[in-house]
Structure 1
Amino acid sequence: MSLILILEQVLNGLQAGVMLFLMAAGLTLIFGVMGLINLAHGSLYMVGAFAAAGVAAATGSFLLALVAALVAAAAAGVVVETVVMRRLYARDHLDQVLATFALILIFSELTRWAFGSFPLYLNPPDWLSGPVTLPGGIRYPVYRLALIGIGLAVGLGLWALTRRTRLGIRIRAGENDREMIAALGVDIGRLYTLVFALGAALAGLAGALVGAIQSVQVGMGEPVLILAFVVIVIGGIGSIRGAFVGALLVGLTDTLGGIFLPELFKLVTDPATATQAGASLSSMSIYILMSLVLIWRPTGLFGAKA
């Protein structure tokens, strides 16, 4: 196994990680501020991907497609929060799970009705197409490098928002004592809507960006949602920093496990079955990582101590 192949897989893991971060950051914001379990977050990811694919097909502009993904996902988030979620804040988590699971089915059927059952394809712009030669002779797609850069920029922007702005102060205060900030005159309903729209917009952006390297299809958000939950459990619920570190760990573990574990199995077992056994263990690797983190730190890497 060559060093160039390993470095390429590391970059692939970073790219997968930063895209997971966009998904997990919105999810952890919503849960941290509102205490709401939102299984429909993956559907907002799907809404962003389909909005981007539709606008790109109509206009030919990738940038307009990204704007459309942000607007569509944020608008869908506002509708979901005002119509459904506001009735669930004081309810049990089981009620929230059931209601948001119903939203998954609704979004899936509406998307199938609007766009059909066949996958759509979103092509990256010409100025982000093709490979670039990195130091060491690594030829890597420009678009995937751009995804890494966008994810890092969004992470920095979220840090600045939560740490350097008045809205960020209110978000952090809402995580700790929502009754107190409501008593101080903060419109808690408007804050919830803003946080939900922000989380939805991040999910929609992730869907649009990933849609250019895989097909856009109904149900594409649910597998990513599962990984996002793993990320926030590893990083710590309510922590943006934890979501970022957890997403990178999951992305690198999943990607590197896919190439190293089959090779390790070839050393200890029959090469004919090593690939299958290694692939099976690779698919379990992120859950093994989550288990180890929880054994060591039950609240996650950056979660508040009990």
Structure 2
Amino acid sequence: MSLPLLIEQALNGLQLGIMLFLMAAGLTLIFGVMGVINLAHGSLYMVGAFACAAVAAASGSFWLGLAASLAAAAVAGALVETTVIRRLYARDHLDQVLATFALILIFSEGTRWLFGSFPLYLDVPPLLQGAVALPGGVQYPAYRLAVIGLGIAVAIGLYLLIARTRLGMRIRAGENDREMIAALGVDIRSLNTIVFALGAALAGLAGATVGALQSVQVGMGEPVLILAFVVIVIGGIGSVRGAFYGALLIGFVDTAGRFFLPRIAGLFLPPADAGLLGSGLASMLIYAVMAVILALRPKGLFASHA
């Protein structure tokens, strides 16, 4: 097996991990500050992808579409928080699950009504088309490298926001004791809306970036949402740092499993059977990793520290 192929798969794992981090960071922020299980987070990912595809098609500019994805997802998130989620803070998690599951259906049917049932396609911007020559003889798509760079920049920005700003101080305080910061005069309702909009914008950004790699279609957020929940459980619920490392771990494990397991099975089985078995085992691998980590660290790798 050649070194360039291994480097390419490692970069694929890094790119998948970065995309999962964009999803999981918003999800873990929302749960950490508000204690809300938001199953509709995948729908906000879909909103970002559709907004980017629609605006890019109308304007001819991917970058305008990217800005539209952030704005549309943030506005949708703020509306969801003020109209639905705000009424669920004092309710148990079952009520939150049922309400946000209903939001999935509403977003899916609303999107289908607006855009139809056929998928949309988002072109990679001309600036990022083609491949970049990397050390070791690797030719890697420029767009995927840009996604990796964007995700790392967002991770650094989130760290600085949470660790170095007044808003970040309020987010950390809200995670630890919501009643106390409310008693100190912080407008907890506005803080909740800001955090929810921020988390939604990150999900929308993830949807927009992935939209150029695959088709944009109704229901595209649900499979990614499952992986995002795996990420935050592994990293530690409420921890952005945990979401980052958990996302990278899942990205590498999933990519390595899908690459190596069919080849290993091919040593003992015919190619068709090896492909089916290897793909099935690869799909199970991330959950096996989650089970092992939770057995060793029941609260995740970085429990409850943003």
Q: TM-score range by the shorter chain?
A: over 0.9
CA separation in 1, counterparts of 2:40 and 2:58?
27
State the partner residue of 2:202. Answer: 202
For residues 272 and 38 of structure 1, do their structure 2 counterparts lie closer, same or farther at Cα, with a shift above 3 Å needed? Answer: closer
For residues 99 and 178 of structure 1, the distance between their equivalents in structure 2, rounded to whole angstroms, comes to 22
Given that 2:3 and 2:136 are in contact with CA atoms closer than 8 Å, whether structure 1 keeps it comes out as no
Instruction: Name the CA distance, whole Å, in 1 between partners of 2:272 and 2:81.
Output: 52
- Give 3-state SS (helix, strand or coil) of 1:18's partner: helix
Is the deviation greater in 91-100 or in 253-262? 253-262
For 2:109 and 2:100, the matched residues in 1 are separated by: 14
The aligned residue for residue 121 of structure 2 is 121
**Superposition pairs for residues 179-198 of structure 1, below 5 Å?**
179-198=179-198
Offset of 1:266 from its aligned partner?
A: 3.0
Paired AA for residue 31 in structure 1: F
1:12 maps to 2:23 = no
Matches within 5 A, 1:36-47: 36-47=36-47
Match of 2:72 in 1: 72
2:36/2:89 contact within 8 Å kept: yes
SS in structure 1 of the partner of residue 54 of structure 2: helix
Where 1:133 maps in the other structure, the secondary structure is strand
Change (3 A) 1:272 1:197: closer
* Cα 1:300/1:176, change in 2 over 3 Å: same
- Per-residue CA deviations over 1:228-249 (Å, capped at 9, x if unaligned) read 0000000000001100000001
Shift of 1:3: 1.8
Q: Give the SS at the match of 2:281.
A: helix
Corresponding residue SS for 2:38? coil
- Cα offset, 1:118, TM superposition: 0.2
Deviations 1:8-48 (A, max 9, x none): 01101100100100000000000000000000000000000
1:286 equivalent to 2:286? Answer yes
Map 1:1-306 to 2 at 5 A: 1-269=1-269, 273-304=273-304
Asked if 1 retains the 8 angstrom alpha-carbon contact of 2:8 and 2:138, the reply is yes
The Cα offsets for residues 49-76 of structure 1, whole Å up to 9 and x where unpaired, read as: 0000000000011111011000000000
1:140 aligned counterpart, secondary structure:
strand
* Distance across 2 between alignment mates of 1:269 and 1:292: 28
In the alignment, the residues of structure 1 paired with residue 87 and residue 297 of structure 2 have an alpha-carbon distance, to the nearest angstrom, of 33
How far apart are the structure 1 equivalents of 2:272 and 2:15? 31
Identity of aligned residues (%): 73
Over residues 201-245 of structure 1, what are the superposed CA-to-partner deviations in whole Å (9 max), with x where a residue is unaligned?
000000001000100000000000000000000000000110000
Task: With the length of structure 1 as denominator, give the TM-score of the two structures.
Answer: 0.98
Unaligned runs of 5+ in 1: none
Distance 1:162 1:272 in 2: 49
- 1:117-145 Cα offsets, whole Å, 9 max, x none, are 00000111101001111011100000000
- Which whole-Å CA distance do the structure 2 matches of 1:36 and 1:215 have between them? 30
- Counting matched residue pairs gives 305
Shift of 1:262: 1.7
> In structure 1, what is the Cα distance between the partners aligned to 2:182 and 2:131?
52
TM-fit CA distance, 1:95: 0.3
Say if 2:30 and 2:199, in contact at 8 Å, map to a contact too. yes
- Two-structure CA RMSD over aligned residues (Å): 1.1
Structure 1 pair 272–69 and aligned structure 2 pair: CA distance change class (3 A): closer
Q: Partners in 1 of 2:204 and 2:188 — Cα distance?
A: 24
Report the Cα distance in structure 2 between the residues aligned to 1:133 and 1:238, rounded to whole angstroms: 38
